[in-house]
Structure 1
C-alpha cells in the first residue's frame, strides 16, 4: 500500500477517533482499525493497486464486500462508512457505491425483548451467582484473618490451617507457595489448585459477568456503561439514614462529546441489611462490587469498579470485563427459554443478550435511560417485537381507563361570548348561571383570577388541598376543579395545550403518554366542544409565542410547586 493511501486512511481514522469524532473508546477505535486493515488487505491483492485516493472506484467497494465473510459484512460497511465520513476528497463514484449498499442492520436491530418470566429467570440466576461469589470471598477472607490471628490450631484442624496458610501466602505474594526448585507446593493441589484458591479471595470473570448482567437488569444501562463505572462516587445522603444513594460519573461515548459524560444515581430504598447479601438494588450491588473487587483494583492499579483475576497467561489482575464473559456465563448456567423448540418439543436455551436485557428493562419500566423519550419510543421500543401484542393491549387498556376516569370527573365550568356580552347589563343573572358571585364574575372577565387554563375563584378551599391552605396541585387538575372557570380569553392556551398534548404522543412511549396525558386531553376536548368551531379557529390563530411558552412550562411541570 502506498504512503499516500496509508496517510489518507490514517488521517480519516484520526478524525473519526479524535475529539470531534464519534468513536471515543479503545474498543470502537479497534473496530475502525480492523475495517481499514481488511480494506487495505483486499486492495493489496488486486493487480492494479490504487496508489492514491483518487484512484478508488465503486468496483473497489463492491469487490471488497464480496471478499468478506457474510457474518462480518454489515459491521465492516458501518465501520468503513464512519472512516470515510472523516476522509478528505472521497471519490464520488466510490462514495455513491458505498452509501448504496444496505447493511442489513435494519432487520437485525429489531431485537425481541425477553418475556417477563425470562427476564426474571436471568435476574435470578445473576443474583444467585453474585451471592455465591460474595459468600465465597467473605468466607475465604474470614478464614485468612482467623489464621493470621492464630485462631486455627494446626493440630486440631489441619486442613483449615493449611488453607489459611495458602490464602495468606497468596494475599502477600500474589502466587501460591512453591518449592525451592520452582514447582508448585503439593498443598496447593490438595486444596483445589491455583485457580480455586485465588477465587477464594478474588472475583473471577464469571462472577463479574453475573454482576454486570444483574446491574443491567436493575438499571437498564448499556453493558459498556456498566463495566466502565468507576469506584469513586459521591454519597449525597451522607450515609445518615436517608435513602442510600451513590452518584457515579459514567461515560457513554456514543452520545457525543457534549453528552457522553453523565451522572448515574444508584439508589437503595430497602435500608441497611447488615451482613446479609443484599442484591435488591443497584446501590447494594455497587457497594458489594466495591468491596469484593477492592484487592484486585489495588493490584491492577485501576479506578474501575469491575476488576477480576484470571489464571490464563500466568495469574493476572485485570480491570473491566472481557467481551466474551457474559456469553460464556450465559451458556454455563443453562437457562431455558419460554419458547418451545418445534422439533424436540422442549424449551430452547435462554441465552443472555445484554441488548435484549436493556430493551426488556425499557419496555417494563417505560423510562428513558441515558437517552430521550423520543429515542426510547422510536429507537428502542419500536424495534422490540417480543411482546408487541401484549404491550398494545396494555396501552389500549390504560388509555380507556384514563379517558373513562377523566370523563367521570365534573369538568371545569365555562363562560361563552354571549354571556360575557350580557354580563355588562345583567351581571347578577349571568353570575347565577355560571355559579359565581357578581364580584367574582367581574374579576373573572377582567382576568384578575387567571391561572393557566382558566380563572380560579377560590384557591384556598379547593378539593386538592386542606381548607384554608393555598392549592399546590398541577394546573392540569383545574380541568376538573369546581373552583375553576374558563372564558373565551383562555381558549388560546386551552387549544395550544390540546394540540401540544397530541404532539407529545409522538415523542413519548405510548404507555407513558396514556398514563400522563390521555385524561387531560379528553377533558380539554370536552371543554373545546362547548365552543363553536369558528371560535376555536379564531383562538388557534391568536396563539402566540407567549402562549406556547406557557404551555411548555405547564407540561414540563415547571409551574408546579414541589
Structure 2
C-alpha cells in the first residue's frame, strides 16, 4: 500500500526484476524506491579479485533490503574501510574463506571505540554472514559477536536557551519576511484574476506579470512580446523583485524547515517527501483547523514508514499555525508543480536560483521545471553559514526531543540512549531532580528506620508508651493543636524522642513475629499501606539491638505484652 492507502499496482506478466550484479561479478546496481539506479564498482577495492567478487556478491544480496542509495553508500563505505584494513596487513587473504579469526579480532579492536568504527563493524558483520563459507569455523564464531554499541558522547548537543533563541529568531525573520512578500503579491494577483483592477492601473500591470509568473515560474522577459515589463514596475532585477514575489527561495524554505524542526522535532530527511497535510474537522468549533500530517520514517522498516501527527491551528502560537503559514507560502509553487507534473503533492517546494540545476543525490525528489523540493544537507550548511551559526537541524531536533521529554518518530531505546542520557543540557537539568530524589530517598530511609535511642534501663522521667518510652512528648513531630503528640503508637519508633530499653525487647520481638506471620496472608497493596513501614522499623531496630538478643527476648514475653500487642494490631490503641 502507498502512504495514502492506494493499492499497489501489480506488475505485468512479462516483468522481470533488474539484475543487481553484472556478469563480471564486480559491479552491483542498487535501485532506490524511485527506480533510479546507482552502480558500485568493486574493482576499486584494494583487495584481490576473488575477494572483490565475493564482497560484491554479499553486497548485492543485501541490497534487496534497501530502498535508497544512501543505504548502499553506507554499506559501501564500510566495505571500503574493511578492504583498506585488509590491504594494510601486507599479505591479505585472497578470498573471504582465507580470513582468520585473528584478523577479524584485530579489525574489531581497531574500530570498536569510535561511532563510525562501530557502524562499520555492524555493517561488515551483516554482509560477511551472508557468505556460506563463513557459516562455521573460528571466523563465524567471531562474526557471531554483536558489534559493540559505541558509548562515546555525541558531538552534537542540544541548544541552551540563548543559542536556541538565536537560531529560531534568525529563521523566523527570514521566513516571516518571505511570507509577507508572497502574501502581498498574492493579494494583487487575486484582485487581477477577479477583474477588480483597471487596465490603466499600475497594479493591473503588476498583476499581469504575476499571472505569467504563477503560470511559468518566471516573470516575462523583454523578449516576451505578449507581456513585457520594465524594471521600474517590479522595482529591480533581484529575485525578491522578480520570481521571488510568489515563490520561496531555497534559503527561505530552509528557514521554514528549521522552524518545523524546532516545533515538531522532524529530522532533515522528512522534508524531502513531506506531503501536503490534509485537514480534519475540529470537534466543537469551526474557527480552528486540524492538520493531519503524514511523516515518512523509512528507518522504521517496511510497513511502518508513515506516522500520522495532528496539529491544530487555534491562533498565533499554536502548533498548527506554522503549517497554515507554510501552506500559504508554498501555494503558488505547489500549484505550478501540479500543473507541470500532475500528481505532485509535496509541501516543501521552492524556486531554484538557476533553473535546470539537478541534485546528484537520486534519493531526493527530482526538480519539476524551475522548482525543487525538500531541504538538502548542503541547504542546511549554506543557511548556517549565511547566519553565522552551526548546522541547525541535528541540534534543533535534540533540543526539541529534550524539551518534549518523549520519543519523537523514534523508539524509546533510541530516545534514551541517543537523545537523553548523553546530552549535557539534559544532565544539567536533571541535577536538581536527582538531588531531590536523593533527599526523598534519604527521608524515606529515615522514615523506615528506628530514629530513637537504645538504653539499658528505664528513665523514671520518661513516659511509657505501648512500644517505647517517650523522652519529650511536647516536641513530637506530630503535635496536635493542643500541643500534644497525635501519633499512632506504632510511629513512636520513628520519633527521635523514643527510648527503647531491655524491658521493651520482649514486646517488640513479639510484634515483629506477629507482623512477619501476617505478611504472607495480607494482599501486597494493603500490607504496604498499613504495616510495611512499621515492619521495616522493627527490622532495623532488631539489627541495632542484635538479632540473638532480640530473638532470646521472646522467652520473656508476658501476658500483658500479648494483650498490648493484640490491641495494637487491632488498632485499638490509636490516640
**Superposition TM-score tier, normalisation by shorter sequence:** 0.5 to 0.7
1:292 alignment partner in structure 2: 329
Q: Of 529, 533, 543, which aligns to 2:536?
A: 529
Q: CA deviation at 1:245?
A: 3.2
1:359 and 2:404 equivalent? Answer: no
Whole-angstrom CA distance in 2 between matches of 1:382 and 1:105: 13
Distance 1:179 1:377, change over 3 A: closer
Corresponding position of 2:252? 207
Look up the SS of the partner of 2:431 in the other structure: helix
Query: TM-score, length-normalised on structure 2?
Result: 0.55
Q: Give 2:382's match in structure 1, choosing from 304, 328, 335.
A: 328
Deviation of residue 235 (structure 1)?
A: 1.7
Q: What is residue 354 of structure 2 aligned with on the other side?
A: 312
The structure-2 alpha-carbon separation of the partners of 1:167 and 1:113, relative to structure 1 and needing over 3 Å to count, comes to same
Measure, in 1, the Cα distance between the counterparts of 2:104 and 2:239: 48
**Pairs within 5 Å for 1:458-477:** none
Distance verdict in 2 for CA 1:154–1:295, change over 3 Å: closer
Structure whose CA Rg is larger: 2
Matching of residue 3 in structure 1 with residue 24 in structure 2:
yes
Q: Please list every run of 5 or more consecutive structure 2 residues that lacks an aligned counterpart in the other structure.
A: 1-21, 29-53, 109-113, 338-342, 357-368, 448-487, 490-517, 541-575
SS of 1:318's partner is strand
**Aligned pair partner of 2:237 in 174, 182, 193:** 193
Once the two structures are overlaid, the 10-residue window that deviates more, 318-327 or 27-36, is: 27-36
How far apart, CA to CA, are the structure 2 residues paired with 1:45 and 1:188?
64
How far apart are the structure 2 equivalents of 1:244 and 1:161? 34
Verify: 1:138 aligned to 2:159, yes or no.
Answer: no
* Correspondence list, 1:126-525, <5 A: 126-152=171-197, 157=202, 160-180=203-223, 187=230, 191-193=235-237, 195-196=239-240, 197-233=242-278, 235=280, 237=282, 240-241=285-286, 244-257=289-302, 259-268=304-313, 271=314, 273=315, 278=316, 280-300=317-337, 301-314=343-356, 316-334=370-388, 350-386=389-425, 388-397=427-436, 400=439, 489-492=521-524
The alignment yields a C-alpha RMSD, in angstroms, of: 5.3
Displacement of 1:384 in angstroms is: 0.8
Deviation at 1:26, TM superposition (A): 4.5
Relative contact order higher in (CA < 8 Å, ≥ 6 apart): 1
Partner of 1:558: none
Deviation per CA, 1:482-508: give whole Å up to 9, x if none. Answer: xxxx9864444579xx9xxxxxxxxxx
Shift in CA distance, 199/223, structure 1 to aligned 2, threshold 3 Å: same
Q: Could you tell me how far apart the structure 1 residues matched to 2:195 and 2:84 are?
A: 64
SS in 2 for 1:383: coil
For the residue of structure 1 that corresponds to 2:290, the secondary structure is strand
- Distance in 2 between residues matched to 1:29 and 1:113, nearest whole Å: 30
Query: Against the structure 1 CA distance between its residues 295 and 257, is the aligned structure 2 distance closer, same or farther, given a 3 Å change threshold?
Result: same
d(CA) in 2 for partners of 1:227, 1:187: 36
Which sections of structure 1, spanning at least 5 residues, go unmatched? 66-70, 335-349, 409-432, 435-485, 499-519, 534-562
How many residue pairs align between the two structures? Answer: 403
SS at match of 2:25: helix
Contact 2:268-2:376 within 8 A present in 1 as well = no
Q: Is the 8 A contact 1:216 1:226 kept in 2?
A: no
Kept after mapping to 2: 8 A contact 1:236/1:247:
no
Q: SS at 2:291's partner residue? A: strand
Relative distance call for 1:382 and 1:246 in structure 2 (3 A) is same
Per-residue deviation at 1:391?
Answer: 2.7
Question: Quick one: structure 1 residues 188 and 168, their matched pair in 2 at CA, closer, same or farther if it must change by over 3 Å?
Answer: farther
Tell me the CA shift for residue 357 of structure 1.
1.7
Q: In structure 1, what is the Cα distance between the partners aligned to 2:175 and 2:436?
A: 38
Task: Decide whether the 8 Å contact of 2:276 with 2:345 is kept in 1.
Answer: yes
Question: Which residue among 107, 127, 141 is the counterpart of 1:84?
Answer: 127
- Report if aligned partners of 2:118, 2:147 keep a CA contact under 8 Å in 1: no
1:310 Cα shift? 0.7
Deviations 1:75-96 (A, max 9, x none): 9836953762674247689989
CA deviation vs aligned residue, 1:252-308 (integer Å, no higher than 9, x gap): 22233354432223244xx2x4xxxx4x23322223223332332344342222122
- C-alpha displacement at 1:52, in angstroms? 5.9
Q: Measure how far apart 1:129 and its partner are.
A: 2.3
Q: Report the Cα distance in structure 2 between the residues aligned to 1:211 and 1:154, rounded to whole angstroms.
A: 36
In 2, the alpha carbon distance for the partners of 1:164 and 1:406 equals 77
Q: Does the Cα contact within 8 Å between 1:359 and 1:380 map onto a contact in 2?
A: yes
Rounded to whole Å, the distance in 2 between the matches of 1:374 and 1:524 is 38
- Secondary structure (helix, strand or coil) at the match of 1:250 reads strand
CA 1:47–1:121: 2 relative to 1, 3 Å: closer
